[in-house]
């Protein structure tokens, strides 16, 4: 098997999960009230057939596909403080003639077959710092791998790396400037675990402009920009395969990109929302040209009401 | 109370519901149509008639609410502010609690805690909810002085767009309501 430098930077799917999960629970700048819970199931299909190196040049190593199923639970601890946990289950496949070599002692994943794994638990706390029409909601989050999984490969599941995240959501309805519309933005600074003495911190900005078409239907456009502040440029900075750090090159790649998409959410009932979103890569360096489609189902409920109803019904 | 007792109470409450003009019980009323009238005794012991209230006010907000629903409680302060702001301008708020398992005492205590100075009705047997087609707490029905439905839906959106307030402003100013129907979210009106 020939392994060239042009073939060995794999996919980082964290960005995809951020997009997919962000759309499963809308309105991140606004919190669920005290006692309100929401359970979401999200599914996304993401695909790519090109890598883009640090100069912007295209490399076409083959076809990559990921199917991500994300379960997400959020809860309002108080009216201004909410918690959220989620975990993705990823199924992925690479078909091409430039697979990654297998990590010593582990089977290869770029075999042309589907691979599946739970990836990273993510827990997030949000605090709504304002009470007026401008919602300012700082957040802290931690990402912890659920188990050891392969982080290197065109069809890798994720970074298999502990990560802290700090950020803020800002949101506002645009009435009267643009009636029936809202704008929210999210900035997150991610501090991942260091590998090979390098900690590839990154900044991620997501901007979401939504419009209420009807009382049930909301459409939105979404842009996501990520800038990685440290790490290796693809592929000039990658070590040779004989270097043990070669196997960290996917998690240490300096990914920069801008992805853009749009979608719609529809309130089926007062407690069930469904959402459909599409996004594509418009610009990237040391990354891949991924596109994706995501479907989400969200059920909101009040545990306190359920408990009280059942308790009183049994009296 | 036994289930038979509850049924009799529901039947009695149902008999209090005044027949609306051109309305069909249980079927959602279209915007611009007459909202089905109802008559009931509030927790303070006074008789409330929607038909009379609309004649005597520029607008009436019928708000389905709950003592334990998170969204109903979250928007309670906003509802109180609206009632205090628009009360002097001829808008009457009336709260309706249709959950079978919430007692009159709990509802009265909750109204005191939240500072609700407007009439609160315990909708025994969820007769009013059925008649208006109410599905959620909180869910607002805004009728103008002629008894016609001008807005139905959430108090505020999840992004806290104050659409009920916008609708009240429109009715008071004689304008069309920009978004007259929204999908109320929150807890289900519990008919069990």
> Which residues of B are less than 8 Å from A30 in CB distance?
158-160
Helix axes B76-86, B163-172, angle to 10 degrees: 10
What percent of chain B lies above the pLDDT cut of 70? 86
- Measure CA A168 to chain center: 16
Which residue on chain B is closest to A270 by alpha carbon?
B185
Q: Which residues of A touch B154 (CB under 8 A)?
A: 215
B7-31 average pLDDT score: 48
Report the gap between the CA of B163 and the closest CA in chain A (Å). Answer: 9
The CA distance from A110 to A101, in Å, is: 8
Round to whole Å and give the CA distance between A169 and A171.
7
Residue pLDDT, tens place only, A112-165: 999 999 999 999 999 999 988 999 999 999 999 999 999 989 988 889 999 999
Give B179 to chain A, closest Cα distance, Å.
Answer: 8
Give A27's contacts in chain B (Cβ within 8 Å): 158-159
Look at B185 and A267 and tell me if their CB atoms are within 8 Å. yes
- Chain A hits for B135, CB-CB cut-off 8 Å, are 269-270
- Cα separations in angstroms, B7 against A283, A310, B38: 65, 19, 19
| Measured distance between the N- and C-terminal CA atoms of chain A, rounded to whole angstroms | 71
User: Quick check: bond before A192 cis, omega within 30?
Assistant: no
Distance CA A77, CA A241 (A): 49
Contact check, Cβ <8 Å, A270/B185: yes
pLDDT at A304: 86
pLDDT digits (tens, 9 = 90+) for B34-87: 999 999 999 999 999 999 999 999 999 999 999 999 999 999 999 999 999 999
Question: How high is the ipTM of this complex?
Answer: 0.85
pLDDT of residue A27: 62
What's the whole-model pTM score?
Answer: 0.87
pLDDT for position A59: 86
pLDDT the model gives residue B81: 98
B188 chain-A contacts, CB cut-off 8 A: 270-271
Residue corresponding to tokens 């991500």: A68
Mean pLDDT of B20-39: 73
pLDDT in tens, chain A (315 residues): 344 444 455 554 544 554 544 444 456 899 999 999 999 999 999 999 999 999 999 988 899 999 999 999 999 999 999 999 999 999 999 999 989 888 999 999 999 999 999 999 999 999 999 988 999 999 999 999 999 999 989 988 889 999 999 999 999 999 889 989 999 999 999 999 999 999 999 999 999 999 999 989 999 999 999 999 999 999 899 999 899 999 999 999 999 999 999 999 999 999 999 999 999 999 999 999 999 999 999 999 999 888 887 877 666
Q: How far apart are CA A127 and CA A185, in angstroms?
A: 15
pLDDT value at residue A9 = 55
User: First vs last Cα of chain B: how many Å apart?
Assistant: 14
- 3 state DSSP class of A102: coil
Query: Which candidate from B68, B178, B183 shows the least CB-CB separation from A216?
Result: B183
Whole-angstrom Cα distance, residue A12 to residue B108? Answer: 56
pLDDT, residue A302, reads: 92
Model pLDDT for residues B131-161, shown as the tens digit of each residue: 999 999 999 999 999 999 999 999 999 999 9
Nearest to B13 by CA among B35, B36, B34, B41: B41
Specify the pairing of strand B91-97 against strand B59-64: parallel
- Does B27 score more than 80 pLDDT? no
Question: Helix and strand tally (H, E) in chain B?
Answer: 7, 9
CB A212 to CB B99 under 8 A?
no
CB nearest A36 (choices: B70, B166, B188) = B70
DSSP state of B138: S
Are A41 and A296 spatial neighbours (Cβ–Cβ below 8 Å)?
yes
Task: Characterize the bridge pairing of strands A37-48 and A51-52.
Answer: unpaired
- Please give, rounded to a whole number of angstroms, the shortest distance from the CA of A114 to a CA of chain B: 39
Per the CB < 8 A criterion, the answer to whether A64 and A104 are in contact is no
């Amino acid at each position: 098997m020939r392994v060239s430098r042009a073939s060995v930077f794999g996919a980082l799917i964290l960005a995809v999960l951020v997009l997919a999960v962000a759309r499963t629970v809308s309105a991140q700048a606004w919190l669920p009230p005290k006692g309100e819970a929401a359970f979401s199931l999200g599914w996304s299909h993401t695909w790519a057939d090109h890598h883009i190196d640090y100069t912007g040049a295209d490399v076409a190593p083959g076809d990559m596909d990921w199917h991500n199923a994300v379960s997400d639970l959020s809860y309002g601890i108080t009216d201004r403080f909410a918690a959220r946990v989620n975990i993705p289950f990823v199924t992925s496949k690479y078909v091409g003639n430039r697979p990654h070599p297998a990590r010593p002692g582990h089977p290869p994943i770029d075999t042309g077959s589907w691979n599946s794994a739970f990836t990273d638990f993510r827990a997030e706390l949000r605090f709504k710092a304002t009470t007026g029409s401008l919602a300012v909601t700082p957040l802290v989050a931690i990402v912890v791998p659920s188990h050891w999984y392969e982080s290197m490969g065109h069809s890798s599941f994720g970074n298999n790396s502990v990560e802290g995240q700090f950020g803020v959501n800002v949101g506002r309805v645009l009435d009267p400037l643009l009636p029936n519309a809202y704008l929210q933005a999210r900035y997150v600074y991610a501090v991942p675990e260091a590998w090979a003495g390098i900690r590839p911190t990154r900044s991620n900005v997501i901007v979401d402009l939504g419009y209420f078409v009807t009382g049930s239907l909301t459409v939105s456009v979404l842009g996501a920009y990520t800038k990685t502040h440290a790490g290796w440029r693809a592929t000039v900075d990658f070590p040779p395969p004989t270097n043990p750090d070669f196997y960290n090159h996917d998690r240490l790649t300096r990914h920069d990109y801008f992805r853009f998409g749009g979608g719609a959410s529809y309130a089926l009932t007062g407690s069930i929302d469904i959402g459909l979103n599409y996004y594509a890569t418009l610009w990237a360096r040391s990354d891949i040209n991924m596109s994706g489609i995501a479907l989400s189902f969200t059920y909101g409920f009040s545990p306190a009401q359920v408990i009280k109803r059942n308790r009183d019904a049994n009296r | 109370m036994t289930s038979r007792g509850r049924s009799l109470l529901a039947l009695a409450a149902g008999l209090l519901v005044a027949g609306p003009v051109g309305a069909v019980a249980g079927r959602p009323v279209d915007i611009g149509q007459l909202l089905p009238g109802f008559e009931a005794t509030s927790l303070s012991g006074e008789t409330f008639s929607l038909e009379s209230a609309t004649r005597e006010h520029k607008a009436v907000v019928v708000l389905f609410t709950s003592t334990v629903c998170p969204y109903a409680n979250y928007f309670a302060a906003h509802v109180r502010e609206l009632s205090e702001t628009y009360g002097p301008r001829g808008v009457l708020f009336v709260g309706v609690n249709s959950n079978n398992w919430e007692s009159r005492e709990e509802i009265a205590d909750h109204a005191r805690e939240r500072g609700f100075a407007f009439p609160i009705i315990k909708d025994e047997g969820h007769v009013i909810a059925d008649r208006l087609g109410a599905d959620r707490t909180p869910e607002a029905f805004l009728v103008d002085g002629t008894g016609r439905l001008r807005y139905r839906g959430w108090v505020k959106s999840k992004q806290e767009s104050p659409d009920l307030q916008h609708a009240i402003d429109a009715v008071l100013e004689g304008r069309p309501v920009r978004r007259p129907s929204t999908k109320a979210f929150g807890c289900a009106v519990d008919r069990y």
